[in-house]
Amino acid sequence: MVRRIVPFLVSAVLLAPMGAALAAEQPKPLYVQTIEKYPAPKLEDVGGREYKFLIDPAKTKGTPEEAFKDIWGQVKAAAAKNGFTVTEKEKGALKIELSTKEYFDTPEQAIWKKGYLIRLTNRYKDGKPDTSVQLTVKMIAPDANVVLSAALSVTGGSKPKTEAEENIGIGPNGQLQGVVEKGSSVTVPLADLGAMTIGDFGKFVPDLLKLGLPEGTQLVGTKAHSTRVRPGAVVLPGTEPCGVSMEAWAKTEGGAPYLYDFSYGYGDLDFYKVAETHAAGEKFLLKVCHGELAALAMPESDKWAGSKVRKLMNRPAGSDPVVTAPVVVKSAEKAAKPAEKAEAKAAKPVAGDPLDEKYGVASQPAYIKHYEADKNGKVVLNPYLQAATKDFPAVLDVKMAPYNWVMDAEGRVSITPEAAHPLGRTYEKGFYRPEDKSKRKPGTRENYGHVSALGGAAGRISGEILFDKDSKSWTINNKSGRYSKHNLDRTPEQLANAAGLIREVVDPAEATWGPVFYLLEYSSQAIQDQLMKNPNLAYDDPKTKSRPHIVIMAPAPSSFGGEKDFVASKLTPCAPAQVTPASAPKAVPAKADKAAAPKADKAVPAAAAIEVPKVDIAAPAADKPAKAKKPKAAQNDDPS
pLDDT at 586: 35
Helix (H, G, I), strand (E, B) or coil at 130: coil
Distance CA(150)–CA(182), nearest Å, equals 8
Distance CA(180)–CA(138), nearest Å, equals 10
Q: Are 185 and 306 in a shared domain?
A: yes
Q: Are 213 and 124 in a shared domain?
A: yes
Buried b (16+ CB within 10 A) or exposed e, 285-297: bbbbbbebbeebb
CB 146 within 8 A of CB 349: no
pLDDT at 374: 87
The DSSP bridge partners found for residue 311 are: none
In a domain, 349, yes or no: no
pLDDT at 345: 33
Distance CA(540)–CA(176), nearest Å, equals 53
Q: Final residue of a domain: which of 301, 324, 347?
A: 324
pLDDT at 637: 43
Tell me phi and psi for residue 187, to 5 degrees.
Answer: -90, 130
In a domain, 431, yes or no: yes
Distance CA(233)–CA(428), nearest Å, equals 49
Report the CATH number at residue 300: 2.40.320.10
User: Does a cis peptide bond (omega within 30 degrees of 0) precede residue 41?
Assistant: yes
In a domain, 210, yes or no: yes
Q: Are 252 and 372 in a shared domain?
A: no
Q: Are 215 and 361 in a shared domain?
A: no
Q: Are 462 and 546 in a shared domain?
A: yes
Distance CA(13)–CA(25), nearest Å, equals 19
pLDDT tens profile 25-68:
558 999 999 999 999 999 999 999 999 999 999 999 889 999 99
How is 243-301 classified by DSSP, letter by letter?
EEEEEEEESSTTPPPSEEEEEEEEESS-GGG-HHHHHHHHHIIIIIIIIITGGGBPTTG
In a domain, 623, yes or no: no
> C-alpha dihedral over 277, 282, 285, 288, to 10 degrees?
-80
How is 395-457 classified by DSSP, letter by letter?
E--GGG--EEEEEETTS-EEEEE-PBPTT--EETT-EEETTTTEEEPTTEEPB--GGGGTTT-
Q: Are 243 and 362 in a shared domain?
A: no
Q: Residue 39 corresponds to which amino acid?
A: P
Q: What is the CA radius of gyration of the chain?
A: 29
Q: Are 172 and 254 in a shared domain?
A: yes
In a domain, 614, yes or no: no
Q: Pick out the chain residues at pLDDT < 70.
A: 1-26, 321-352, 431, 433-437, 562-609, 617-640
pLDDT at 147: 92
pLDDT at 471: 92
Q: Residue 168 corresponds to which amino acid?
A: I
In a domain, 314, yes or no: yes
Q: Are 318 and 439 in a shared domain?
A: no
Total count of domains within the chain: 2
Q: Is the dihedral of CA 59, 62, 64, 68 positive or negative?
A: negative
Q: Are 295 and 359 in a shared domain?
A: no
Threshold 0.85, pTM exceeds = no
How is 105-116 classified by DSSP, letter by letter?
E-TT-HHHHTTE
Q: How many CB atoms lie within 10 A of CB 131?
A: 10
pLDDT tens profile 147-202:
998 889 998 899 899 999 999 999 888 899 999 999 999 999 999 999 999 999 99
Half-sphere exposure of 122 (CA within 13 A, CB side): 17
pLDDT at 537: 94
Structural domain that includes position 528 = 355-609
In a domain, 73, yes or no: yes
Q: Is the dihedral of CA 197, 203, 209, 215 positive or negative?
A: positive
Helix (H, G, I), strand (E, B) or coil at 186: strand
Q: Are 245 and 303 in a shared domain?
A: yes
Closest CA to 479 of 435, 417, 420: 435
Q: Are 305 and 403 in a shared domain?
A: no
Contacts of 556 (CB under 8 A, 6+ apart): 503, 512, 513, 607
Q: Are 301 and 360 in a shared domain?
A: no
Q: Final residue of a domain: which of 324, 340, 370?
A: 324
